[in-house]
Amino acid sequence: MTHTIQPNNPEVTPAPVSTATAPSPAASAVPAALKRRIPKSADLAPLMQFKKPEFSKDARLKRASTIWDLRDMAKRRTPQAPFDYTDGAAEGEITLHRAREAFLDIEFRPGILRNVSSIDLSTNILGKSSRLPVGIAPTGFTRMMQSEGEYAGSQAAEAAGIPYTLSTMGTASIEDVAAAAPNGRNWFQLYLWTDRDRSLELIERAARAGNDTLMVTVDTAVAGARLRDVRNGMTIPPALTIKTVLDASYRPAWWFNFLTHEPLTFASLSRYTGTVADLINSMFDPTLTFEDLDWLRETWKGKLVVKGIQTVEDARKVVDHGADGVVLSNHGGRQLDRAPIPFHLLPGVKEAFTKDNSDAAIMLDTGIMSGADIIAALALGADFTLIGRAYLYGLMAGGRAGVDRTLQILEKDMARTMALLGVSKISELTPDHVRLLNK
């Protein structure tokens, strides 16, 4: 039927409109659910669920939902000098800020209508399986952050089914860490000293203790300018000055643990007294060349990884000299400020290795503070990732239980991110899942 509009006709009188059946708003029926009433006690009972306050370490850690939450806990429980040693970086800390910002400046591109009822986070790294695509990076002076130190880290890694890397400057021996986590996958990080005999001794000890991977760090020709440590008068062991005593009054548990456990010892030397920078400069060798890497390749029979790669050219070159893998790293921003950002370097290294038909592993550290960061790195071409500060924040927040909580948070983050991206296993991640913003 066609409706037409008639022109005005004075002879046609429109019919009056009746309003008798049009209800007013006030007269409308009010739904029962919206009528006011006095609440009944039976209605209130389900809402009155006041929980007894819990102040235990486990309850406190359970409330942590992010690595940033653990950092806040760590800061409250740890004296300023060791906390700043962990939290800080070189000079203006520009590199660290940029590394974290790099993970924020991405856009995930999810796929929909995929079956993600089961998420598999396992992967293969350097010939062996890892239950998660993340391992614990080497960190120095770890028992200074919290008395359980390397023992907590290695045991948490063992329980999680991931690799743990002991630093040359770790505060537990190679043998003790191996004994603490006998079923774990232990790696050893090496600084090549000017004294090659001492380096060789460490390499032999690592092999005898069952370490299957040697990670040589090459971005430390000299110590970086870690200004927080300078301002705090950071020494090994921590000095009892008026400032530290006052600081300790707010953190008695840390000092009680520190003073009632075995004094700090190192994987590479028995005792040392002095500043961090002096220790580092006494150990690092500014004369290192690729010939030293050749010597390591001949000496070490296990997997060899080079950590501290900051250019595509150097990544290719160390593989040519026998490395089984590289760690794209700027030492957590603790060496050269304004250094390249590993996450930004990743696509170029992946492309170069693909062109070279290289099967060398690409690992990445620096700036990782969530499981989403890890997934983004894997999507852009990393085979594996390493966490340093994230693990230490957990350690300072609650010892071994805090490290466990770090790994639980990251695992949950990773599984959720993958499900929302529409992928169920690591091998399904591709660069199409991530877009770099501001690039």
Catalytic residues: 331
Helix, strand and coil percent figures for the chain, each rounded to 5: 45, 15, 40
Q: Is 210 left (phi over 0), alpha (psi -120 to 50) or beta?
A: left
Question: Which position has the token pair 């991977």?
Answer: 213
Residues making up the chain, counted from first to last = 439
State how far the Cα of 269 lies from the Cα of 171, in Å rounded to an integer.
9
The rounded distance, in Å, linking the Cα atoms of 385 and 368 is 9
Q: State the Cα–Cα distance between residues 237 and 171, nearest whole angstrom.
A: 11
Residues near 286 by beta carbon (within 8 Å), at least 6 away in sequence: 221, 222
Q: Are 419 and 166 in contact (CB under 8 A)?
A: no
CA triple 290-295-300, angle to 5 deg: 125
Which residues, 6 or more positions from 379, have their beta carbon under 8 angstroms from its beta carbon?
429, 430, 431, 433, 434
CA dist 65 and 63 (Å) reads 6
Start-to-end CA distance of the chain, whole Å, equals 60
